[in-house]
Amino acid sequence: MMKRRRLVLLSVFAAGCAVIGSPASEAGPSEGVSPGVVRGGEPAVPTALPPARTPGPTRRFDEVRALWVVRSAMTSAAEVKDMVERADEAGFNTVLVQVRGRADAFYKSTWEPLAESITEGDGFDPLALAIELAHARGIAVHAWLNTHLVWGGPGALPSSPQHILRDHPEWLAVPKALGRELYDVSPTDPTRMARLRRYASDNAGTVEGVFTSPSDPQVKERIRSVWLDLASRYELDGVHFDYVRFPSGDFDYSRGALDRFRQWILPRLSADRRRALNAAYVNDPYAFVEALPGPWGEFRRAQITDLVRSVYHAVKARRPEMVVSAAVFSNQDDAFEHRYQDWPAWLAEGILDVAVPMAYTTNDDRFRAQISDGVAAAGAGRLWAGIGAYLNTTEGTLAKIDIARSESAAGFVLFSYDWAVGEGYSGQGPTLLQRVGQTKFNRDAP
SS3 33: strand
pLDDT digits (tens, 9 = 90+) for 329-345: 999 999 999 999 999 99
Rg over CA atoms, the chain: 22
231 found inside a domain: yes
> Residue 26 — pLDDT band, cuts 50, 70, 90?
very low
Q: What per-residue confidence (pLDDT) applies to 268?
A: 97
Average pLDDT over residues 28-47: 29
SS3 233: helix
pLDDT digits (tens, 9 = 90+) for 130-174: 999 999 999 999 999 999 999 987 888 999 999 999 999 999 999
Q: How far is CA 291 from CA 178, 249, 274, in A?
A: 19, 16, 11
Round the average pLDDT of the chain to a whole number and report it. Answer: 88
CB atoms within 10 A of CB 42: 7
> What are the residues whose beta carbons fall under 8 Å from the beta carbon of 34, sequence distance 6 or more?
47, 48, 49, 110, 225, 228, 229
pLDDT digits (tens, 9 = 90+) for 238-264: 999 999 999 999 999 999 999 999 999
302 pLDDT higher than 50: yes
36 pLDDT higher than 90: no
Task: Return the minimum-mean-pLDDT range out of 43-57, 183-197, 212-226.
Answer: 43-57
> Residue 425 — pLDDT band, cuts 50, 70, 90?
low
How far apart are the C-alpha atoms of 349 and 362, rounded to whole Å?
Answer: 32
pLDDT digits (tens, 9 = 90+) for 63-99: 999 999 999 999 999 999 999 999 999 999 999 999 9
> Residue 114 — pLDDT band, cuts 50, 70, 90?
very high
234 membership: H or E segment, kind and range:
none
| Phi, psi (rounded to 5 degrees) for 328 | -130, 160
> Residue 19 — pLDDT band, cuts 50, 70, 90?
very low
The DSSP-derived string for 284-341 is: -TTHHHHH-HHHHHHHHHHHHHHHHHHHHHHHHHH-TTSEEEEEEESSHHHHHHHS--
347 found inside a domain: yes
pLDDT digits (tens, 9 = 90+) for 427-443: 677 999 999 999 999 98
> What are the residues whose beta carbons fall under 8 Å from the beta carbon of 219, sequence distance 6 or more?
148, 171, 212, 213
Q: What per-residue confidence (pLDDT) applies to 61?
A: 86
What own/partner pairs with CB < 8 Å and gap ≥ 24 does 257-261 have? Answer: 257/173, 257/174, 257/213, 257/215, 257/216, 258/179, 258/183, 258/285, 258/286, 258/288, 258/289, 260/20, 260/215, 260/299, 261/215, 261/288, 261/289, 261/295, 261/296, 261/299
391 found inside a domain: no
325 found inside a domain: yes
Contact 200, 177 (CB under 8 A): no
CB atoms within 10 A of CB 438: 17
> Residue 60 — pLDDT band, cuts 50, 70, 90?
confident
How far apart are the C-alpha atoms of 176 and 68, rounded to whole Å?
Answer: 32
SS3 437: helix
410 found inside a domain: no
Q: What per-residue confidence (pLDDT) applies to 58?
A: 54
Task: Return the minimum-mean-pLDDT range out of 28-42, 103-117, 157-171, 263-277.
Answer: 28-42
Q: What per-residue confidence (pLDDT) applies to 59?
A: 67
Give me the CATH number covering residue 342: 3.20.20.80
Average pLDDT over residues 262-268: 98
Average pLDDT over residues 20-47: 28
> Residue 369 — pLDDT band, cuts 50, 70, 90?
very high
Task: Return the minimum-mean-pLDDT range out of 301-310, 394-403, 416-425.
Answer: 416-425
More confident residue, 45 or 261: 261
Domain count across the chain = 1
CB atoms within 10 A of CB 75: 18
> Residue 5 — pLDDT band, cuts 50, 70, 90?
very low
- The distance in angstroms from the start CA to the end CA of the chain is 52
Q: How far is CA 437 from CA 214, 266, 393, 420, in A?
A: 40, 57, 16, 11
Q: What per-residue confidence (pLDDT) applies to 158?
A: 94
How far apart are the C-alpha atoms of 57 and 323, rounded to whole Å?
Answer: 12
How far apart are the C-alpha atoms of 34 and 46, rounded to whole Å?
Answer: 9
Smallest CA-to-CA distance from 199 within 234, 174, 163, 229 is with 174
282 found inside a domain: no
Contact 129, 84 (CB under 8 A): no
Smallest CA-to-CA distance from 327 within 366, 303, 354, 361 is with 354
Q: What per-residue confidence (pLDDT) applies to 53?
A: 43
154 found inside a domain: yes
389 found inside a domain: no
38 pLDDT higher than 70: no
More confident residue, 3 or 395: 395
How far apart are the C-alpha atoms of 336 and 348, rounded to whole Å?
Answer: 15
How far apart are the C-alpha atoms of 322 and 347, rounded to whole Å?
Answer: 16
Q: What per-residue confidence (pLDDT) applies to 422?
A: 84
- Provide the domain limits for residue 206: 25-36+45-261+293-352
How far apart are the C-alpha atoms of 124 and 122, rounded to whole Å?
Answer: 6
25 pLDDT higher than 80: no
